[in-house]
Amino acid sequence: MWYLSARLKPLFTKLESSPGLVRIAPFASFLVLTLCQEQFDGSLRYWLYLAKTLLGAWMMWMVRRWVPEMRWAFSLEAVIIGVFVFAVWVGLDPWYPKLGKAGSPWNPHLTFGEDSSIAWTCVAGRILGSTLVVPLVEEVFYRSFFYRFIINSEFQNVVLGKLSAASFIVTSVLFGLSHHEWLAGILCGLAYQGLVCWRNRLGDAIAAHAITNLLLGCWVVWKGAWHFW
């Protein structure tokens, strides 16, 4: 990873002149690997997830200086929204059709053996990735870039708390449709975007997103509800 960082650092330096690209590139890379990962049912899908998580973490670290709003911010509102979205995600699950999933549920125990160390490593990697990396990648793209870009192509001139009904709805719907659980995803997007507009900062949504994903990961392991993954 150090070698890769040294080789690609000039590329990231060039990205400094493109505020949009530094917010799009990590998300696009993450999305491509996710699409590739879901085409496999064997062990490769789990290794791809771990690779995707490491790549996402590294990319967010590399662009951090050019995305000043990417700061964790813990507040009571973030905790409430995070827990609420988790409850909605789980509670709504039986009541609406999902967008199709390729292959079998994401359950490394079926591939590497029940309670094997590799299986638990993959589970831990998924929980850590969805808690610490996914919120950064997605919130920076959807609510720092995309939401404001719809309002004004010079998106950095738009404050994070700017309220725009059209952008609010479009961003939340797109966020929802990028998940198999599309309805819960749309409601989730509305909640996170509302939090950004209310607090006028991105960090609360990042924290709320992380809380939701952490609780969902614990639920998946506790209940064996692998279909959420």
Q: pLDDT tens, position by position, for the chain (229 residues)? A: 555 555 555 655 666 668 999 999 999 999 988 888 777 778 888 998 999 999 999 999 999 999 999 999 999 999 999 999 999 999 999 999 998 765 678 899 988 988 899 999 999 999 999 999 999 999 999 999 999 999 999 999 999 999 999 999 999 999 999 999 999 999 999 999 999 999 999 999 999 999 999 999 999 999 999 999 8
Task: Please give the pLDDT value at position 18.
Answer: 86
Identify the residue whose tokens are 């614990």: 218
Structure tokens at 7: 């080789």
Q: Give the count of alpha carbons within 13 A of 10, CB side only.
A: 1
Task: Please give the pLDDT value at position 38.
Answer: 75
Cβ-contact 152, 159 below 8 angstroms: no
Structure tokens at 171: 């961003």
Domain ranges of the chain: 2-97+109-228
Task: Please give the pLDDT value at position 33.
Answer: 87
DSSP state of 63: H
DSSP state of 141: I
Q: Residue-wise over 161-198: b if at least 16 C-beta within 10 A, else e?
A: ebebeebbeebbebbbebbbbbbbbbbbbbbbbbbbbe
Task: Please give the pLDDT value at position 106.
Answer: 86
Neighbours of 43 (CB within 10 A): 13
Helices (H), the chain: 2-15, 19-37, 44-63, 76-91, 108-112, 117-128, 134-139, 147-151, 165-177, 182-199, 203-223
